[in-house]
Structure 1
């Protein structure tokens, strides 16, 4: 698609379907444009001679130098209008009209034709089924919403047009301003990645917000957002946290990984701040838009109320922040400045009779402490305190020390003037101190994103042709579910596996066991039996003399459990010392938007019970793999908790990366479980394997 600059800064906008009939979309968009748009509005409607004082044109092909065409005609003719726009040399088309892919097979056919036209003529198409677009930079409200945005530096995209109208009404009352707004609609041509890139290049956009129901191309979004978030924060609400489809999954990973895990992992890798509520969306936007990034995670709390101060302290404990520890000099200064009844330790309580001078002195002393990276100024109404004067002092001190500050004014309408003063200076205000702390935590998180230097995934030297031959051979035999008989696949990608072989007779079992030496592990190999341990299909520590009988016993149990099941044989495998290792799992499921999703967690038989897991979208870089190890609740087990021998974390990190490369190289692998991967003091060994193939992708 072409550049989007003229979409948000047009000089001439044509409304196709302009109308004088109140209550129609054509009327609303035309009148909205005429209200404040700095450029020229052109009406197109072959059935009218004039609309709202504008001469009407029959077709876009009658016009020249139109930057944006807004299409509000019925769906049956909308595609023809888009084709006319292409003939007229118009770069940007906003299709407000509904009745496309959201409306059945006929609509989907229309949408496919629209995409074909856009691709052929390099058109920027917003929608269809869109509320429209806004840009306060040129006074353009090309939507049929009832309210125009207040000017500001936040750019906002949404898949829900109704959400935009609600947000504009809510934000307008709170003086939250916007730069550009786009209703994405069906995202037939332009999607969230296009607007992320556009606003990332826009010097007038300080924060990008989004309400997303899905992402059209997960990898593209990660690439776009990762680049943009180095300079511009992105905050999103992603609706739909269900695990739809997980019940149909064949592997542990597929059963655990719902669609939301892919979004969570993808957003994390892209540097996108994800929030759960609209309140948080704008809390975070306000502080990211108005405050500098912190130098540290130490929070100072200055308050005139002990109880709310404790609440704020609890909120700091709940966040990834810490209560700043004041230096001795700071404590001495606070002791001299405050009455003896005051608390000089963090949280600083100036007590209820404090006037503005005492309050401001405490704020200044706290902000001057080297260990304070950010601060919460929390005030409750008293007869001795002027909120307005406190706001003035807070603004002055925040500017002087360039330390991010969030204010909590716990009052009603008496706080309005003070809140306006703070808001004008970029200091957000909240009634609930927990919101203030969460917003400061968002600053900390974005600062970490800015400081993080993205590392490209490592490409290992692997035996690709050997791995492809293993998978191709399986498909040729009609096999789409593979197990331990395919352990050579892991070996081809440099993943450590125990010595072993799959055999189909007691005699061969004895032979392989002798070659391995000592006690062995024996496992039934059957694509029809998922949980081998549950049916007695696994025997551990089998001595050489018992191998033949154990082979017969395992096969009989499998036959009794699944009489019609396919039994490939029994795997004879070298023993891995579990007492000196920690059982983990590395798995992969394939997400429709983001592609292969790599999972790491506590393994063995408890994986589905514990669900102690971390996810990343492949390909996974080394730094991301290391972060996955630290994100699981059982991470201390890997570091030697309770006297355990520390696991070889570097080996686990490399194994995760090699698995990531494997599933990236072979899209035919739709699900994969390596469970357990035994993390030993030296090395990590893959003991068991299950994978599912899509033979059409090989």
Structure 2
């Protein structure tokens, strides 16, 4: 069991490698601890009697510390960790670099570090990290140049350098923290451990994180999904582009999963994603206030038309909506504001408005039942005191339990008023767009809190039949299966056209007679994946031509690739595509998050339009249904241009059945059903392609 709080609740801290040598990490850690830490500090250095006036010991085992901060060279660090473990010191911060991020011997040292942590049941942060901070006790066990302000946000970062920058930037803007941790290489403790810890911490209102990768995506999703029911989690995930992912990997040694997997995983976990460090802390500051919208509409109160329009546009670009005031609200505004004021939303109290007029207008709009949040925008004027306005807004916040984002669009004159508002957890911004985006994060979290997590459906399937199909890869000497694996879908209750694979023209004709009507014929070969490119598919073959078509398909395959393995020809019921929509359902197994299920527009359009969406399996019915809402082509499913709506319930069930299949069989690495043809009468899987890791069957 991980006991992360011990890292932050230490009363006696040992610094192994403590020194007074100017410019050294050991000296910086000691100076930071001496500045604010309310507990006891134990320097450890066999080459010194005293460090900064404190008596030194030669070995960590000679201390009674409950936290050890290790800054000695990597070749010595392992011995120190073992000594700490033998002495019963469970909490360690290994600042020292030269481990997994260095490769070679460093990677070997990191594996040894993990073995020691397991042997002695250690809570170990790092290695290769900046350290940790906990403001309630004044603990600053880092070598950064600035400590954190006290607050109710807790922050983790995979980049130590970013921590130093953030602490200075946040301090200048009044953002405070409960705990801060530099994750480093995450050899033992990782982001999931800290999300769980802070989710149980009554003094942490919001969890913030900068991550370059997630060690165990499945565990993270399960943990964060529980935490975000009560505590918001906001993450800035870098490595979104291919180049960014490669840079992250080389920087931290992390294995970067696909961006689509991270997007789906964070969404499933209920984590709010920020696109920049500015957004990360904008969202955090707003969420730390603890107030969520109680209605859908946003009111804007401003003394300047232009910024009001900017805010209105930002609301239109977000999932928020501009509130429509009730008649009583507009009448009250007309009575309390000058005749030239605008009483519709956005409310313009005009440029000569003093603070009291802002307050009067805000009180009126906040009482409207359709208003769940407000943006107040103030530009400087000769009659407006930002100090007085801040006090007015503080009083309004006390009266109304409604989130308010404040834009004080000035320079040095806003610093004092911003601090006043920050004291009552009301963030301020210069840009109205930032204010609106922060309110949108609140609305997003409101939606997350309202989620009802449903277990995935469990269908009655034939696992033995499915396993038999998958084991064919062993006899084929390949790891790919195509249309010869259609029985796999049958085993999991996914509808397929009537048909089979035959190995002679005569058998092809007999099967076509049983099917009745024109048929589709496809050459079956694991060595020829793109069959249409070589003329390996014929659609609408009449009975009289079936035998000749069989011969022609085999001949084309032989001419294209003489050494190809031919398993026969598939003869299949012809599906009428005139009133259908071709979709795709597929799966790719991500190294961090496991099976990633895909749905979208299929057929030839999947690679051209790329109108797809993904979710992490296993999927509940609600999650599968949500995939149909995500794609741009949803209107095609619902009867665009006079077509009949397709069987959406059939698509949703197929997605769920595929989800169950790929969870049941981890050996399935990739799978595509394309097209999955959807009509008003149901859905049918026309083609399949999959890759199997036969070593895990």
Alpha carbons of structure 1 residues 14 and 450: separation in structure 2 relative to 1, 3 Å: same
Which residues in structure 2 correspond to 1:249-648 (within 5 Å)? Answer: 259-648=258-647
Cα distance in 1, alignment partners of residues 306 and 489 from structure 2: 58
Q: How many Å apart are 1:340 and its aligned residue?
A: 2.6
Cα distance in 1, alignment partners of residues 161 and 431 from structure 2: 28
Q: How many Å apart are 1:561 and its aligned residue?
A: 3.2
Residue number in structure 2 paired with 1:129:
128
Q: How many Å apart are 1:258 and its aligned residue?
A: 7.3
Q: How many Å apart are 1:291 and its aligned residue?
A: 4.7
Alignment size in residue pairs? 688
Cα distance in 2, alignment partners of residues 686 and 243 from structure 1: 32
Note the alpha carbon deviations across 1:258-309, whole angstroms, 9 max, x for none: 7100000000000001111000000000000025001122111111111111
Task: Report the secondary structure of 1:290's partner residue.
Answer: coil
Cα distance in 1, alignment partners of residues 608 and 184 from structure 2: 40
Residue number in structure 1 paired with 2:51:
51
Cα distance in 1, alignment partners of residues 566 and 221 from structure 2: 43
State TM-score, norm by structure 1: 0.96
Cα distance in 2, alignment partners of residues 242 and 566 from structure 1: 39
Alpha carbons of structure 1 residues 387 and 349: separation in structure 2 relative to 1, 3 Å: same
Note the alpha carbon deviations across 1:509-530, whole angstroms, 9 max, x for none: 1111111111111122222223
Q: How many Å apart are 1:99 and its aligned residue?
A: 0.7
Which residues in structure 2 correspond to 1:199-210 (within 5 Å)? Answer: 199-210=198-209
Query: Which is worse superposed, 499-508 or 36-45?
Result: 499-508
Whether 2:41 is the aligned partner of 1:11: answer no
Q: How many Å apart are 1:442 and its aligned residue?
A: 0.2
Would you say the 8 A contact 2:85–2:120 is kept in 1? Answer: yes
Residue number in structure 2 paired with 1:197:
196
Residue number in structure 1 paired with 2:253:
none
Note the alpha carbon deviations across 1:179-212, whole angstroms, 9 max, x for none: 1111111111111101111111110011101010
Q: How many Å apart are 1:425 and its aligned residue?
A: 1.5
Query: Which is worse superposed, 153-162 or 347-356?
Result: 347-356
Note the alpha carbon deviations across 1:296-335, whole angstroms, 9 max, x for none: 2211111111111111111001000111111111111122
Residue number in structure 1 paired with 2:25:
25
Would you say the 8 A contact 1:513–1:572 is kept in 2? Answer: yes
Query: Which is worse superposed, 470-479 or 167-176?
Result: 470-479
Whether 2:114 is the aligned partner of 1:118: answer no
Q: How many Å apart are 1:659 and its aligned residue?
A: 0.7
Query: Which is worse superposed, 329-338 or 153-162?
Result: 329-338
Query: Which is worse superposed, 212-221 or 675-684?
Result: 675-684
Alpha carbons of structure 1 residues 341 and 560: separation in structure 2 relative to 1, 3 Å: farther
Task: Report the secondary structure of 1:118's partner residue.
Answer: helix
Cα distance in 2, alignment partners of residues 175 and 384 from structure 1: 27
Would you say the 8 A contact 1:395–1:422 is kept in 2? Answer: yes
Would you say the 8 A contact 2:473–2:694 is kept in 1? Answer: no
Alpha carbons of structure 1 residues 141 and 246: separation in structure 2 relative to 1, 3 Å: closer
Cα distance in 2, alignment partners of residues 330 and 619 from structure 1: 48
Cα distance in 2, alignment partners of residues 291 and 104 from structure 1: 44
Across the aligned residues of Structure 1 and Structure 2, the Cα RMSD in angstroms comes to 1.7
Q: Which runs of 5+ in 2 are unaligned?
A: 247-255
Task: Report the secondary structure of 1:376's partner residue.
Answer: strand
Note the alpha carbon deviations across 1:438-467, whole angstroms, 9 max, x for none: 000000000110111211111222111111
Cα distance in 2, alignment partners of residues 416 and 125 from structure 1: 40
Task: Report the secondary structure of 2:681's partner residue.
Answer: coil
Q: How many Å apart are 1:162 and its aligned residue?
A: 0.2
Would you say the 8 A contact 1:291–1:405 is kept in 2? Answer: no
Cα distance in 1, alignment partners of residues 555 and 604 from structure 2: 23
Cα distance in 2, alignment partners of residues 145 and 246 from structure 1: 27
Note the alpha carbon deviations across 1:563-622, whole angstroms, 9 max, x for none: 433332221111222223211111111111111111111111110111111111111111
Q: How many Å apart are 1:246 and its aligned residue?
A: 12
Would you say the 8 A contact 2:213–2:257 is kept in 1? Answer: no
